[in-house]
Chains A and B, each alone.
Chain A
Amino acid sequence: MFARKNSLLAYAWLFLALAFAGGAQALPQIQSWSTAGGTKVLFVAAHELPMLDVRVVFDAGSARDGSLHGVAALTNSMLGKGAGGKNADAIAAGFEQRGAQFGSGSERDMAWLSLRSLSEPDLLTPSLQLFRSILGQPDFPVADFKRERQLTLTGLEYQQQQPKSIAENAFYRAVYGQHPYAANPDGNPESVAALRIQDLKAFYRRYYVAGNAILVLVGDIDRKRAEAVAEDIAAALPPGKKAAALPEVAPLEKASTEFIEHPSSQSHVLMGAPGMRRGDPDYFALYVGNHILGGSGLTSRISEEIREKRGLSYSAYSYFIPMKRKGPYTLGFQTRTSKRDEALSVLRETLRKFVDQGPSAEELKAAKDNIIGGFPLAVSSNSKITEYLAMIGFYGLPLDYLASFPDKVAAVTAEQIRDAFQRRVKVDDMVTVIVGTQSSGSAAP
């Protein structure tokens, strides 16, 4: 139950790295083509296990909400609640009686539907048919809509009792201001309560279209069958065009600190700013640099200073989330209130020193050894490969992204890291969010 290091973040990172095994070759051979309707397909054949993973990704995350905050998430969760005349029970039973697993989800950028099935045709074919009808013929039943909307509101209440969620929501608001990334992807109580079923249908019609979709297939089928499956799935979607480009993210102009009172024994602290996008020219320098600063668990500087040397927090970390536009750069920890100010000044000092001086030669070598040596772990399960293909397809990264990854990491220099951090990470213009109880000291920078 209790892993020793790790924030939830580090935990997630760990298990992404661990949930591997599969994929035949050390490096998956990615094949790509477009369907007749213009949907881009990414495919990896993996014949070792008699199973298939299917994922359809849309540019239909909450960044597309407009003023209807929460509409993207609710639209996504409604698709499996009624389709082609089948109700939610019939849909769920249709998959589960064949041992298939249906999933859906949405974040700020992406929304997706997924299917994992055995590849045996008697099981796979009917599951694909059902999946197809969820994609192309959702019914949006009124009773289910009202219930799902209410469940979203309950979920928002749940977030308000978790200091971590309170801090995250405030952090995005502060970092992104007027940008669509600012809003909670689940919406807010007022916006969700005001959503109407027509809003969901309109959102679905605009964004769940062939031209706005990426299709990923990984598993035990050959190219010919993959083409047929892809054509069949994509044909379920109405034609339509790609979503418009999102606005650029404005840089922060000055530092700010937001304090949110919450009766918790710990304070949760998040600090950061807009970071980088997928495909960013500084990606490798920032990624490798952050690995050293706060992205590699216990061996990173931030964890060393806050946890190992001082025993101040269970998890202290930093990470970039590269997105369509600049995703956040986040640094954080949680500690008992009496130690909050001390831990925060250690965090700021550690960041400042890293930005000023960059990494040492030994640190850079250790980071490269870790990332490159561990690379086979990252791409060796069907589920992990599916995630990577979705990312490569959605963000338009080159098909040799994985193949060239180790070389690009190896080419990063200490000077490039220092230069990239100095240009991109403005220590004095960051947002700080603190959730916890007041104490005598001031947490302001």
Chain B
Amino acid sequence: MRGWLALAVGLFTAVSYAGSPVHEFKLDNGLRLIVKEDHRAPVMVSQVWYKVGSSYEHDGITGLSHVLEHMMFKGTKAHPAGEFSRIIAENGGRENAFTSRDYTAYFQTMEASRLPVSFELEADRMRNLVLPAEEFKKEVQVVMEERRMRTDDNPQALTYEQFNATAYASSPYRIPTIGWMGDLKLMRVEDLRDWYAKWYAPDNATVVVVGDVDPQAVYRLAKKYFGPLKPSHVIAPKPREEIAQYGPKRIVVKAPAKLPSLLMGYKAPVVLNAKTEWEPYALEVLASVLDGGDSARLASRLVRGEAVAASAGAGYDAFDRKETLFLFSGIPSNGHNVADLEKALRAQIREVQDEPVSAAELARVKAQIKADKIYEQDSIFYQAMQIGMLETVGLSWKDAEQYFSRIDAVTAQQVQAVARKYLVDDRLTVAELSPQPIDPKHPPREGGVAGHVR
């Protein structure tokens, strides 16, 4: 029953660090290597992170980073299409890749002695991808199917996409990672070749290995496989800061659905751009006070208590690369509408602005983050993910190490201060999903593309 609004928010709200030391290396060609030992089981995860994602894109080429991620499995001269997956599989590996706004990453999880297999294949496709036109023609169709499945036929995801494109005017965060259908339809394999040449190079990549490995041995392997690759002197993207907002924005998304839903997002700073160092951490605590479990305010007061919401959530990610949104989301309960839910959420916002949060709430948030620090170590994948994500957005794995102490230093007054400063109407965008009849005679416009795409 939980997680109806499984939106892409707050994935890393509980980043923290503990456990064995981290070893950092840099190759002559600019490739960064970070290794963390975890000897509890004879396994390892190897991840390659590139500084590229949909927030590096612009109008007309949206979705390019993600399609390129798909094409990274379509062969090099040494290993033609399909071989990458076949070789990893025969070595007992599990592999996949993911693209977000701020990064593209590839990973293999394997028995620890198989690390050279992973390095050899990843090094090869870092510079030697072939990008065959006929493979591209099929794969871009697969991505369009992915878009239909994830977004076009999912009214809440569709609402989130429209909301996001409304909240941001000039920031590339307005771009959906999957890409607009119109851009996918007109994408050319040449676009991918340019994108690959621009971003896929050792000086734009971080390799992270966590598991039952010896850091020096991993460094030697990295030099052997990645060392010979030529750097491409990658030029960092322009900042493309979000322009000022001069008042609340509000949209309605009409789609075939049974349930209405609500999104409210307030522009908020992140660690990378915050002028006041503690503010992003105070915003993290605020998000946890509101939605850090079943005893947090939104579950306790809006879902139980007033019972105005069937689900209600708040999320914020201090480690985004650019100015982000402090997001509220929810589904009104039966007998209530979106306006009731918005009113109830606004009352909660007023309360955190008017009164400091309680000592018990602060203690609860801190206890949870402290425990999560231990629980996270049950997954080498998660540990590697934290390191790679921080390094790739331009922070450091050390920020994870210091996360708990920074959270621990947050006071009730600071939480109140950020609520007053950032949860204000001039920073707000609201989107409402207005359910339309589920009428098979009226299928949705494909890809949300108005008019025709040739």
Using a CB–CB cutoff of 8 Å, the interface residues on chain A facing chain B are 1-6, 14-15, 17-24, 26, 48-51, 77, 80, 88-89, 92-93, 95-102, 116-118, 123, 144, 147, 150-155, 157-158, 160-163, 261-266, 296-299, 307-315, 334-336, 366, 369-377, 380-383, 437-438
Do the beta carbons of A163 and B92 come within 8 Å of each other?
A: no
Q: In whole angstroms, how far apart are the Cα atoms of A115 and B73 in the complex?
A: 40
Q: In whole angstroms, how far apart are the Cα atoms of A437 and B442 in the complex?
A: 9
Given contact pairs A99-B367, A336-B145, A373-B110, a sample of 4 additional A-B residue pairs in the complex whose CB atoms are under 8 Å apart? A5-B96, A308-B138, A313-B145, A373-B93
Do the beta carbons of A96 and B368 come within 8 Å of each other?
A: yes
Which residues of A are found within 8 Å of B73, using beta-carbon distances? 4, 298
Which residues of A are found within 8 Å of B89, using beta-carbon distances? 296, 299, 366, 369-370
| CB-contact partner of A161 in B66, B155, B293, B380, under 8 A | B155
Let me know if B61 is at the binding interface, CB within 8 A. no
| CB-contact partner of B364 in A2, A5, A93, under 8 A | A93
> What is the distance, in angstroms, from B288's C-beta to the closest C-beta of chain A?
10
Do the beta carbons of A98 and B367 come within 8 Å of each other?
A: yes
Q: In whole angstroms, how far apart are the Cα atoms of A47 and B257 in the complex?
A: 49
Residue-wise interface mask of B (435-449) relative to A, using a CB-CB cutoff of 8 A (1 in contact, 0 not): 100111111101100
Let me know if B347 is at the binding interface, CB within 8 A. no
Show 10 A/B contacts (Cβ-Cβ < 8 Å), sorted by A: A1-B98, A3-B96, A5-B96, A19-B381, A77-B1, A88-B294, A116-B375, A266-B145, A298-B82, A313-B145
Chain A, Cβ-Cβ closest to B138: A311
Which residues of B are found within 8 Å of A48, using beta-carbon distances? 40
| CB-contact partner of A93 in B295, B374, B439, B441, under 8 A | B295
Let me know if B217 is at the binding interface, CB within 8 A. no
Q: In whole angstroms, how far apart are the Cα atoms of A307 and B70 in the complex?
A: 12
Do the beta carbons of B41 and A376 come within 8 Å of each other?
A: yes
Let me know if B372 is at the binding interface, CB within 8 A. yes
Knowing A17-B109, A163-B153, the reply to whether A158 touches B258 (Cβ < 8 A) is yes
Let me know if B250 is at the binding interface, CB within 8 A. no
Do the beta carbons of A377 and B1 come within 8 Å of each other?
A: no
> What is the distance, in angstroms, from A64's C-beta to the closest C-beta of chain B?
19
Which residues of A are found within 8 Å of B210, using beta-carbon distances? 21
Q: In whole angstroms, how far apart are the Cα atoms of A305 and B259 in the complex?
A: 37
Interface residues on B, range: 35 or more
Do the beta carbons of B360 and A97 come within 8 Å of each other?
A: yes
Which residues of B are found within 8 Å of A49, using beta-carbon distances? 40, 374, 377-378
Do the beta carbons of B4 and A158 come within 8 Å of each other?
A: yes
Do the beta carbons of B41 and A262 come within 8 Å of each other?
A: no
Do the beta carbons of A151 and B1 come within 8 Å of each other?
A: yes
Which residues of B are found within 8 Å of A96, using beta-carbon distances? 292-296, 364, 367-368
Q: In whole angstroms, how far apart are the Cα atoms of A375 and B73 in the complex?
A: 24
Q: In whole angstroms, how far apart are the Cα atoms of A261 and B150 in the complex?
A: 19
Do the beta carbons of A20 and B294 come within 8 Å of each other?
A: no
Do the beta carbons of A150 and B295 come within 8 Å of each other?
A: no
List CB contacts (< 8 Å) of B342-359 with chain A.
none
Knowing A18-B109, A152-B1, A373-B91, the reply to whether A2 touches B98 (Cβ < 8 A) is yes
Centre residue among B73, B148, B257, B331 by max chain A CB count within 10 A = B148
> What is the distance, in angstroms, from B363's C-beta to the closest C-beta of chain A?
7
The segment out of B199-207, B299-307, B412-420, B422-430 that lies at the interface is: B299-307
Let me know if B450 is at the binding interface, CB within 8 A. no
Do the beta carbons of A92 and B299 come within 8 Å of each other?
A: yes
Q: In whole angstroms, how far apart are the Cα atoms of A133 and B211 in the complex?
A: 39
Which residues of A are found within 8 Å of B310, using beta-carbon distances? 151, 154-155
Q: In whole angstroms, how far apart are the Cα atoms of A336 and B148 in the complex?
A: 8
Knowing A92-B299, A97-B363, A100-B371, the reply to whether A382 touches B256 (Cβ < 8 A) is no
Let me know if B97 is at the binding interface, CB within 8 A. yes
Residue-wise interface mask of B (105-126) relative to A, using a CB-CB cutoff of 8 A (1 in contact, 0 not): 0000111001000000000000
Q: In whole angstroms, how far apart are the Cα atoms of A186 and B156 in the complex?
A: 21
Knowing A1-B8, A265-B446, A314-B146, the reply to whether A18 touches B331 (Cβ < 8 A) is no
Let me know if B396 is at the binding interface, CB within 8 A. no
Q: In whole angstroms, how far apart are the Cα atoms of A311 and B300 in the complex?
A: 46
Let me know if B99 is at the binding interface, CB within 8 A. yes
Do the beta carbons of A14 and B94 come within 8 Å of each other?
A: yes
Do the beta carbons of A1 and B99 come within 8 Å of each other?
A: yes
Chain B, Cβ-Cβ closest to A48: B40
> What is the distance, in angstroms, from B366's C-beta to the closest C-beta of chain A?
9
Which residues of B are found within 8 Å of A163, using beta-carbon distances? 153
Do the beta carbons of B43 and A380 come within 8 Å of each other?
A: yes
Chain B, Cβ-Cβ closest to A81: B304
Centre residue among A2, A150, A160, A373 by max chain B CB count within 10 A = A2
Chain A, Cβ-Cβ closest to B301: A89
Do the beta carbons of B96 and A314 come within 8 Å of each other?
A: no
Knowing A162-B154, A373-B111, the reply to whether A97 touches B364 (Cβ < 8 A) is yes
| CB-contact partner of B443 in A20, A93, A264, A309, under 8 A | A264
Which residues of A are found within 8 Å of B300, using beta-carbon distances? 88-89, 92
Do the beta carbons of A150 and B334 come within 8 Å of each other?
A: yes
Q: In whole angstroms, how far apart are the Cα atoms of A4 and B368 in the complex?
A: 32
Q: In whole angstroms, how far apart are the Cα atoms of A296 and B86 in the complex?
A: 10
Do the beta carbons of A366 and B379 come within 8 Å of each other?
A: no
> What is the distance, in angstroms, from B431's C-beta to the closest C-beta of chain A?
17
Knowing A314-B145, A376-B111, A437-B440, the reply to whether A265 touches B152 (Cβ < 8 A) is yes
Knowing A154-B310, A262-B440, the reply to whether A161 touches B259 (Cβ < 8 A) is yes
Let me know if B60 is at the binding interface, CB within 8 A. no
Let me know if B234 is at the binding interface, CB within 8 A. no
Let me know if B324 is at the binding interface, CB within 8 A. no
Residue-wise interface mask of B (70-94) relative to A, using a CB-CB cutoff of 8 A (1 in contact, 0 not): 1001000000001001100111111
Let me know if B164 is at the binding interface, CB within 8 A. no
Let me know if B42 is at the binding interface, CB within 8 A. yes
Let me know if B69 is at the binding interface, CB within 8 A. yes
Chain A, Cβ-Cβ closest to B367: A99
Do the beta carbons of B378 and A381 come within 8 Å of each other?
A: yes
Q: In whole angstroms, how far apart are the Cα atoms of A144 and B8 in the complex?
A: 30
Do the beta carbons of A374 and B93 come within 8 Å of each other?
A: yes
Which residues of A are found within 8 Å of B154, using beta-carbon distances? 162
Let me know if B141 is at the binding interface, CB within 8 A. yes
Which residues of B are found within 8 Å of A335, using beta-carbon distances? 145
Let me know if B178 is at the binding interface, CB within 8 A. yes
Let me know if B243 is at the binding interface, CB within 8 A. no
Knowing A1-B177, A88-B304, A161-B259, the reply to whether A263 touches B41 (Cβ < 8 A) is no
Do the beta carbons of B372 and A23 come within 8 Å of each other?
A: no
Do the beta carbons of A381 and B1 come within 8 Å of each other?
A: no
Residue-wise interface mask of B (359-400) relative to A, using a CB-CB cutoff of 8 A (1 in contact, 0 not): 010011001111110110111111100000000000000000
Which residues of B are found within 8 Å of A3, using beta-carbon distances? 96-98
Which residues of A are found within 8 Å of B370, using beta-carbon distances? 99
Knowing A369-B89, A370-B89, A370-B90, the reply to whether A377 touches B43 (Cβ < 8 A) is yes
| CB-contact partner of A160 in B98, B258, B441, B446, under 8 A | B258
Do the beta carbons of B148 and A263 come within 8 Å of each other?
A: no
